[in-house]
């Protein structure tokens, strides 16, 4: 059985485990409250895809080609394109996307002072 980071509809915990399925729905049991959540097969595909994305943040300050940006993973565009897509903006509070780029670990680095993203060694 697979564990997903999809939120439980009862308690909000992100430790759902596939329990059963029928033709239209998949039943997921929460590891925290033991409640049952239903999802469609399409929802399940989306959550599996987003769990497998190689991007180490959801929204954070980054250096993209040496410039400071706020990067936000666009999960819906990523799902439609079958690859990670990141929206770039200058401000964290105003959600105005200035650029949309594909995820490339060689071009993204954590911001030295502002980032919550774990500092990782530079990619050769």
Residues 8-29 pLDDT 10s: 778 878 778 877 777 788 888 8
Residue 75 sits in the same domain as residue 41: no
Could you tell me if 44 and 65 lie in one domain? no
Q: Examine residue 116 and state whether it is found in any structural domain, yes or no.
A: no
The tens digit of pLDDT for each residue in 84-93 reads 999 999 988 8
What does 32-73 look like in DSSP terms, one character per residue?
TT--EEEEEHHHHHHHHHHHT---S-SEEEEEETTEEEEEEE
Order of strands, sheet of 59-64, starting from the edge strand that comes earlier in the sequence: 99-102, 85-89, 67-73, 59-64, 108-110
Residues 104 and 66 in one domain: yes
Please count the structural domains in the chain: 2
- Other CB atoms within 10 Å distance of the CB of residue 89: 17
Residue at 77 is within a domain:
yes
Q: Do the domain assignments include residue 94? A: yes
pLDDT bucket at 124, cuts 50 / 70 / 90: very low
What pTM does this model have? Answer: 0.74
Domain range holding 94? 59-110
Q: What is the mean pLDDT of residues 48-76?
A: 91
Domain check: are 89 and 72 in the same one?
Answer: yes
Is 60 exceeded by the pLDDT of residue 116? yes
């Amino acid at each position: 059985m697979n564990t997903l980071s999809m939120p439980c509809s009862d308690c909000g915990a992100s430790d759902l485990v596939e329990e059963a399925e029928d033709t239209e729905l998949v039943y997921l049991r929460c590891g925290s409250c033991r409640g049952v959540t239903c999802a469609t097969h399409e929802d399940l595909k989306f959550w599996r895809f987003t769990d497998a994305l190689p991007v180490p943040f959801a929204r954070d300050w980054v250096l993209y080609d040496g410039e400071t940006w706020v990067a936000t993973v666009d999960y819906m565009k990523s799902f439609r394109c079958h690859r990670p897509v990141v929206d770039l903006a200058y401000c964290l509070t105003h959600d105005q996307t200035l650029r949309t780029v594909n995820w490339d670990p060689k071009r993204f680095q954590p911001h030295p002072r502002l980032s919550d993203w774990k500092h990782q060694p530079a990619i050769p």
